[in-house]
Structure 1
Amino acid sequence: MTSDNDYSGMMQADSNATGREIQKSPQSILAEEIEEGLIQLNRSGSGLFLSGLSAGLDIGFGPFLMAVVLSMPHKGLAEPVLELLVASAYAIGFIFVILGQSALFTEQTTLATLPVIHGRASFQELGKVWAVVYSSNILGAALFAGIAVVLGTQTKIVEPKVLAEIAHGLTDYRWWVILLGGVLAGWLMGLLSWLASAARDTVSLLLIVWIVTGTIAYAHLPHSIAGTVEVLLGVFSGTVVLEEFVTFLTWSTIGNIIGGTVFVSLLRYSHAERGGYEPEAAAVGRQSDRGSAHEED
């Protein structure tokens, strides 16, 4: 039987543990990020593709709802308030993706990169994840954009001029502007992945996703996947030429990769490692552990 003293000691230990867990340390977040990255790296190609296709489709609801909001009468509504509504509509697509745990390319620029930096995965494995998730995201985004243009214009809930406005809001810039904006968007998405691991419940995760992705929308930063939906709305409605889409996609993708890998993966990893990161204590091994992960598949 457990004595009163033993029980009191257990309660005190549990209370102390709870207090320590109010905020996760950078080391524990890094450990979780590496393990999550390994899950993605060890998934089958078909599983990754379907997850990426789902993310590409789901994220399209954000730009579509942006078009719906902008098409509605909003006389007397202050411009900053309208911008906030549009940004919130944009965030909905990301909420569907993040809470639904689908594979989004701009998250993988951080998640899938960390195990490589830590020595538990190869660049070849990273390239496979990036290629499969990216291509499936683009396919899903393109499919959704086509459906949205037909549905929106036929039901008259979206005005064609709004589709053009949304698309040109991303394409009417020089390549280096799209690149720099893409770096910031990729930086924010990598930060979102890190903050999502720090979140302790669904409500806080929801708030984090809304803040980060709403910032991307409010600042009109180019996100390669959500932006694909936005620009293709213009292409499919005949207001944007295909060459403009290719230019946007190329430079926004490069910028997103730089932002996610350099400003989040490398910096956050270095910060956590120099803060006393111990692989064994955080249940994160190195290259020698990779065999068991593959055997489980």
Structure 2
Amino acid sequence: MFSPAEIVDISIDNGIKKIQKPLLAKLILGFIGGAMISLGYLAYIRVSASIPASLASVQAFVGASVFPIGLIVILMAGGELITGNMMAVSIAFMDKKISFKDLLINFLTITFANLVGALFVAYFFGHLVGLTHSGVYLDQLLSLAHHKTEATWLQAIFSGIGCNWFVGLGLWLCYGAKDGAGKIMGIWFPVMVFVAIGFQHSVANCFVIPAAIFEGQGTWMEFLCNFVFVYLGNIIGGAIFVSGFYYASYKHH
């Protein structure tokens, strides 16, 4: 592993590289990012749906154990995920290597592309192929979606903070590992834990809530309200609880 101080510099460099990518690459990789997180969530539903609700903790653990494949693909095969950028791009901004305009444009571009990728998986794989369309899979989908939309705005913000504290740490450990196995382990456990706990991820919600809407449950206004507050929490979790804390602790000018 690199030291925490070295990981700060690596994260800054990665944030700069994210800004410098061509627009087409950002859109393609952002689409991949949104799709991969959604496919991880789809896997969660498929492997956990038949476990009885009375075994809720087992259900959460089994589902959470497969979810991290999305972020592993994004970080190791190529992809852009806004929750990851909230950590990496933010720390580059803190180090004054990029402008606030650069950060804002990156956030908007990657968020849009992630949304398109998530909606693609929700409609075509979930609804059209039928993987979330009936039986226990539909029941699990609706239960997850309703739980998210029923959260108050304050619950959504703090749940978003908890989520991206862990996702940001997954990136942090991935950047700090020196081999592939270390990177996979560094990503897997923080992401598995945030999912098992039940924290909310704005891009994952771009899959699960619209997937429920495509099955006739919920409204787009409910989705939008949830997204705004979870997204805000995700920014705080990634930019402050990971980048901000470690930058203040290890970057000495």
Q: Say yes or no: TM over 0.5.
A: yes
Structure 2 CA distance for aligned equivalents of residues 157 and 198 of structure 1: 43
Show the 5 A alignment for 1:84-123.
84-123=61-100
Could you say if the C-alpha distance between residues 205 and 260 of structure 1 is closer, same or farther in structure 2, counting changes exceeding 3 Å? same
Q: Which amino acid aligns with 1:116?
A: F
State whether residues 174 and 184 of structure 2, in contact with CA within 8 Å, keep that contact through their aligned partners in structure 1.
Answer: no
Structure 2 CA distance for aligned equivalents of residues 29 and 242 of structure 1: 39
Indicate whether 1:125 and 2:102 are aligned: yes
TM-score by length of 2: 0.92
State whether residues 127 and 133 of structure 2, in contact with CA within 8 Å, keep that contact through their aligned partners in structure 1.
Answer: no
Q: Secondary structure at the match of 1:119?
A: coil
Which structure has the bigger radius of gyration? 1
Structure 2 CA distance for aligned equivalents of residues 75 and 107 of structure 1: 33
Q: Which amino acid aligns with 1:138?
A: L
Cα shift at 1:79 = 4.2
Deviations 1:23-78 (A, max 9, x none): 42222111111111111111111111111011111111112112212333x46995
Structure 1 CA distance for aligned equivalents of residues 19 and 40 of structure 2: 28
Q: Percent identity?
A: 23
Structure 2 CA distance for aligned equivalents of residues 156 and 241 of structure 1: 19
Structure with higher helix content: 2
Indicate whether 1:181 and 2:170 are aligned: no
Q: Which amino acid aligns with 1:92?
A: I
Q: Which residue of 1 aligns with 2:43?
A: 65
Structure 1 CA distance for aligned equivalents of residues 236 and 68 of structure 2: 22
Structure 2 CA distance for aligned equivalents of residues 31 and 270 of structure 1: 13
Structure 2 CA distance for aligned equivalents of residues 108 and 46 of structure 1: 17
State whether residues 38 and 204 of structure 2, in contact with CA within 8 Å, keep that contact through their aligned partners in structure 1.
Answer: yes
Deviations 1:139-165 (A, max 9, x none): 110111111122235886763222211
Show the 5 A alignment for 1:134-283.
134-147=111-124, 148-153=126-131, 159-274=137-252
Structure 1 CA distance for aligned equivalents of residues 248 and 133 of structure 2: 52
Q: Which residue of 1 aligns with 2:17?
A: 39
Between 129-138 and 91-100, the greater mean CA deviation after superposition: 91-100
Structure 2 CA distance for aligned equivalents of residues 261 and 154 of structure 1: 33
Structure 2 CA distance for aligned equivalents of residues 218 and 262 of structure 1: 23
Q: Which amino acid aligns with 1:120?
A: K
Structure 2 CA distance for aligned equivalents of residues 160 and 181 of structure 1: 24
Structure 1 CA distance for aligned equivalents of residues 135 and 76 of structure 2: 27
Structure 2 CA distance for aligned equivalents of residues 250 and 202 of structure 1: 35
Provide the aligned C-alpha RMSD in A: 2.1
Any gaps of 5 or more consecutive residues in structure 1? 1-22, 278-297
State whether residues 132 and 141 of structure 2, in contact with CA within 8 Å, keep that contact through their aligned partners in structure 1.
Answer: no
Cα shift at 1:128 = 1.3
Q: Which amino acid aligns with 2:242?
A: V
State whether residues 56 and 137 of structure 1, in contact with CA within 8 Å, keep that contact through their aligned partners in structure 2.
Answer: yes
